[in-house]
Structure 1
């Protein structure tokens, strides 16, 4: 499911226009949305029964330039991460 399909599903489920559903979706998932804003502040977004959005720190490490083969040092970085809740994992793995 891509973003447009998500918008369509939200519109249908809530009985609202696709424009309004797009606004709601953007509120959560855009670069300026609430999830990204909280992660930028170093916070965590916990959605009960769904999962947690959080940041993790990747340590500096050695890498290799694929074009030249030269070894380079990759800086430490902060990356977004998602950890699914137990309820979501069980739902996904439930036999149909």
Structure 2
């Protein structure tokens, strides 16, 4: 499903105009992004939890030269599915 299809379905389900649904979806994504950028987790009970994980530094290989290199530590977004979402997917 594309973002456009998602917005159309949100609009239909919530009884909103497409532009209102677009604004709501964009606002929700922006809030999640800014919260994660600040290091805060976003928990939507039953749906899941968006959080930031720390990936440690590790050894890697440059694919062009085959030379060993160190890949720096970084922060990455993660999502853990909630029980209601897991149940919905299983059925």
Superposition TM-score, scaled by structure 2 size? 0.94
Instruction: Tell me: higher relative CO, structure 1 or 2? Use CA pairs within 8 A at least 6 residues apart.
Output: 2
Q: Output the CA distance in 1 between the equivalents of 2:5 and 2:81.
A: 21
Please tell me the root mean square deviation across aligned C-alpha atoms, in Å.
0.9
**Per-residue Cα deviation, 1:7-58 (whole angstroms, up to 9, x for no partner):** 11011112221111111110012xxx10011111111000001000000000
Residue 3 (structure 2) aligns with: 3
Superposition TM-score, scaled by structure 1 size? 0.89
- List 4+ stretches of structure 1 deviating above 6 A: none
Tell me the matched-pair count. Answer: 91
Please list every run of 5 or more consecutive structure 2 residues that lacks an aligned counterpart in the other structure: none
